[in-house]
Structure 1
Amino acid sequence: MIGYPSAATLRELETELLRYFRLRVPAHVDPRDLVAEVWVAMADYRGRASHRTFAFRVARLRLADYYRYRDEVDPLTSSKYWPASEPGPSSLVRRLRERSSLWRAVEKLPPAFREVARLHLQGVGNFEISERLGLHYNTVRSRLSRALAKIRAELDQAGLERS
């Protein structure tokens, strides 16, 4: 039977998690948000390790997701890739075609890869994808890697440039 930790244990664990995140994220990031994500994931605790071990495993994965996705931008909508002035109609049409080609490539993926790729392109992190789809974290990483390779190949075959 899975036991629940005492309130004192949870307070101590929260203090340790806050310290862990404060030392590893920039000052403008509120570590309480990351700790909250750990608490949400604790609902999946099955008793295979101590509460502390499980919480810090989740914390490491959340931290990895934070750094993996903090600087990512959608190249089709980010101002970083658009000129300072408003784009002309021809560039808007080209962008729409590129986006359309991207989603067509996603639809051609085998079902096992399609949903992982779809969620990734919507900005969902790997850990959350694994939770939503009930897959192991490493399975999500593997499927996403393969899906992106297939999408790149499809876009290359269609003659579209990748950024």
Structure 2
Amino acid sequence: MSNSSICIQEKDFDLSAEIAALRKNDPRVGAVVSFLGTVRDMNDGSQVKGMTLEHYPGMTEKALQEILDQAKARWGIYQTLVIHRVGPLLPEDQIVLVAVTSAHRGEAFAACEFIMDYLKTAAPFWKKEETPEGARWVDARVTDEVALSKWKEK
């Protein structure tokens, strides 16, 4: 049984099916924590009509695996899953799923938050938003960097 899965894909995913598959046949699991990120219709005061996510194949998966390995080294977690979509997306589309299983909720919550914080700042994804003012590349937010800093102190 693999204890981490990383999928970078253009197609959408079924949240319920992915969570069910993650915990299937593992009676040790007492907690499943997940984060689902979706495309918003507003960002930095501008309407977002859509976005395109790009990545560097091979490098992205390696960076994500390093993040998952760090989470496993810090907490007693079992399975991890990251699904990240690339390509063109519209408001309300699913972008990312991070899910973690463990015996207890505390470890699963902490690991899921850690993975998402690192994913937002350290994973090689590039996001371009389409707005009424034109296309613009989006950088990591200051709040994302602040969220990441709390893990570096521990």
TM-score, length basis structure 2: 0.30
Higher helix share: 1
Structure with higher Rg: it is: 1
TM-score, length basis structure 1: 0.29
- Of structures 1 and 2, the one with the larger relative CO (CA 8 A, separation 6+) is 2
Higher strand share: 2
